[in-house]
Amino acid sequence: MKKGSIAIIGIIVGFTIQACVSEKLSTPTMLATEVAANALVPTQEKLIVGLSFPSSYEIWEKEEIHLSALLEEKGYEVISREANYDDRLQNDQINTMVALGAKAIIVIAEDGDAVVSTVKNAAAEGVLIIAYDRLIKSADIAAYVSFTSYNSYREVGRQQALGVLAAVDIEGGEWTVDNPLKLVMLGGSPTDSYAGLYRQGQDEIIDPYVEAGKIEIVADQWVEHWDPENAYVLMGQILATQNNEIDAVLAMNDGTALGALDAMREQGLAGVIPILGGGATAEGCNSIVKGELTVTILRSNYQDLSVQAIDLVDALLKGEDVELVEYTLVELAYDHRLRGSVMTYFSPVEQVNIDNVYELVVLGGFQSYDDVYVDIPEDKRPPVPGDE
């Protein structure tokens, strides 16, 4: 991995993107003009920036509002579309944005492989493609903006696994070779490269216990499109097969965890069997304070990341200096068939549970007090922020 400063340094006169990518390489390795020259238009024209979302999932609805507002504040016209988990539709929507004159498009890919050809064609037209949160496996993207390096996705998986092991007190003496913990694993969408990174982190923690005989993975299913309804169906089937005899559930995000919880609730297991999610969604955090979801994972606040993404787009379109780090696609995607490298900006991963959800999520401004504590009796709520 090539190391270097990763903070966007704002507006600086010049055209060089400082890569600072390794101990051996300290000279500029990429010019902003190389990715932005064809995107520049006369200053009297209003530039169009596209936003391409994979779905209308809660976090993306919020991001659409926030990213759009940030772009409009900087004087850009915004085209925003969501693809309803359909990679073909997302490709069509990106092509339409290019045809409508978008000079940059921020893409949260439904499938990081499926958009590669579309991204290549857009880049050939001089359009800047920024991969946001999810990697697009192409050296044709102008930049990749995500959380604390590609390794953070494995760290999310590690924290999820550590959370479930803490919840069941794996070292407490109950779980032995003669009485192994019966663990259900619900992966994310098989088309999302980061589901694989989550799993790598989970396996790093879980595998030693499996090998020692303390954990038995009784079911391992991947949830297409990260769809809660798919998770609900899969969990129902797992519970039927296992006669409800499971000890913990390790899911990859709040949506799949909450879908699984619906199936568990029907069997009287919600709030009884520990279950882990991720994303610190409002619904997930509300489930935590209700005593059902055990842990979710909070990465860096999307609101902070989106500011960095928009600053990056703005600087690139203006040909100004930004400081990025270069990673190879092999490093980012763990796929040795890939070629080329990507300029990246990475913005740190914490377990959220019933003891710290108020401090980390509410006081931290990630979710609103009212959303997290909806349907919670007044006498069971902490004070409203500002009323302490």
Residue with tokens 């300290």: 26
Highest mean predicted confidence (pLDDT) among 12-26, 32-46, 211-225: 211-225
Span 125-141, mean pLDDT?
Answer: 94
pLDDT at 84: 92
Q: pLDDT, tens digit, for every residue of 317-367? A: 999 988 888 888 887 777 788 899 999 887 667 899 999 999 999 998 889
Instruction: Categorize the per-residue pLDDT at 210 as very low, low, confident or very high, splitting at 50, 70 and 90.
Output: very high
Inter-residue contact 280 to 361 (CB < 8 Å): yes
Band of residue 133 on the pLDDT scale cut at 50, 70, 90: confident
Helices (H), 228-301: 228-241, 254-266, 282-289
Q: Is 16-148+300-347's fold the same as 151-298+355-380's?
A: yes
Which of 51-60, 83-92, 188-197, 200-209 has the least mean pLDDT?
188-197
Sequence ranges of the domains in the chain: 16-148+300-347, 151-298+355-380
pTM value? 0.61
Contacts of 342 (CB under 8 A, 6+ apart): 131, 135, 139, 141, 143, 144, 326, 327, 328, 329, 332
- Rounded Cα distance between 344 and 4, Å, is 11
- Between 23 and 61, the more confident residue is 61
User: Residue 302: helix, strand or coil by DSSP?
Assistant: helix
**How high does pLDDT run on average in the chain?**
85
Closest CA to 314 of 24, 70, 91, 17: 70
Q: Report yes or no: 338 and 329 within 8 Å, Cβ to Cβ.
A: yes
Going by pLDDT thresholds of 50, 70 and 90, the confidence category of residue 11 is very low
Angle, CA 253 vertex, CA 173 and CA 235 arms, to 5°: 70
| CATH architecture group of domain 151-298+355-380 | 3-Layer(aba) Sandwich (3.40)
- The Cα-based distances of 387 to 282, 373, 383, 384 in angstroms read 21, 15, 6, 5
Closest to 357 (Cα-Cα) out of 257, 286, 275, 273: 286
- Residue 103 and residue 254: Cα distance in Å, rounded? 34
E-only strand ranges, 115-247: 128-132, 143-146, 181-187, 215-222
Cβ pair 142, 130 in contact under 8 A: yes
166 phi and psi angles, rounded to 5 deg: -65, -40
Out of 16-30, 49-63, 172-186, 228-242, least confident range: 16-30
What percent of the chain lies above the pLDDT cut of 70? 85
Helix axes 87-99, 116-124, angle to 10 degrees: 10
Contact 288, 354 (CB under 8 A): yes
Identify the H or E element spanning 79. strand 77-82
CA of residue 21 relative to chain centroid, distance: 24
The H or E element containing residue 105 is strand 102-107
Contact 110, 135 (CB under 8 A): no
Q: Are 268 and 240 in contact (CB under 8 A)?
A: no
Question: With respect to CATH, is domain 16-148+300-347 assigned 3.40.50.2300?
Answer: yes
Q: Is there a contact between 72 and 62 (Cβ–Cβ < 8 Å)? A: no
